[in-house]
Amino acid sequence: MSWDFSTEPEFQELLDWVKDFCKNEVEPLELVFPYAPYVRDEKMRALVKPLQDQIKAKGLWAVFLDEELGGPGYGQLKLALLNEVLGRYSMAPALFGCQAPDTGNMEILAAYGTEEQKKRWLYPLMNQEMFSAYSMTEPQGGSDPNLFTTKAVRDGEEWVINGEKWYTSNGRNADILFVMCTNGIFIVPRKTPGVEIKDYPRTHNHIIYKDVRVPLDHLLGPEDGAKVLAQRRLGGGRIHHAMRAIAQCQRAFDMMCERALSRESHGKVIAEHQMVQSAIADSYAEIAQLRLLVLWTAWTIDNSSTQEARTQIAMCKYTAAKVLREVCYRAIHVLGSLGVTDLTPLQAMWAGAPTMSVMDGVDEVHKVTVSRNVLKGYEPHEGFWPTDYFPEKRAKAREKFAAAFAADPELVGYADYMEKRSRGH
- Digit-coded pLDDT (tens) for 230-244: 888 876 778 899 999
The model's pLDDT over 75-97, given as tens digits with 9 standing for 90+, comes to 999 999 999 999 999 999 999 99
Which pLDDT value is given to residue 325? Answer: 97
The model's pLDDT over 41-72, given as tens digits with 9 standing for 90+, comes to 999 999 999 999 999 999 999 888 888 776 78
Band of pLDDT at residue 1, cut at 50, 70 and 90:
low
pTM: predicted TM-score of the whole model, two decimal places = 0.90
Query: Which carries the bigger pLDDT value, residue 307 or residue 186?
Result: 186
When the pLDDT of each residue in the chain is averaged and rounded to a whole number, the result is 94
Band of pLDDT at residue 387, cut at 50, 70 and 90:
very high
212-216, 234-238, 247-251, 299-303: lowest mean pLDDT where?
Answer: 234-238
- What percent of the chain is predicted at pLDDT more than 90? 83
**Separation between Cα atoms, residue 164 and residue 154, nearest integer Å:** 18
- Are residues 321 and 298 in contact, defined by beta-carbon separation less than 8 angstroms? no
Domains of the chain in start order, with CATH, are 9-113 (1.10.540.10), 132-220 (2.40.110.10), 227-375 (1.20.140.10), 390-422 (no CATH)
The model's pLDDT over 132-183, given as tens digits with 9 standing for 90+, comes to 999 999 999 888 889 999 999 999 999 999 999 999 999 999 999 999 999 9
**Separation between Cα atoms, residue 219 and residue 181, nearest integer Å:** 10
| Closest residue by Cα to residue 287 from 338, 250, 341, 241 | 250
DSSP string, 390-403: HHHHHHHHHHHTHH
Which pLDDT value is given to residue 108? Answer: 92
Band of pLDDT at residue 4, cut at 50, 70 and 90:
confident
**Side-chain-facing half-sphere of 110: CA atoms under 13 Å:** 21
Band of pLDDT at residue 311, cut at 50, 70 and 90:
very high
Q: In this model, does residue 425 exceed pLDDT 70?
A: no
Specify the length of the chain in residues.
425
What's the Cα-to-Cα distance from 392 to each of 37, 154, 275, 397, 419, rounded to whole Å?
67, 66, 46, 9, 12
Band of pLDDT at residue 359, cut at 50, 70 and 90:
confident
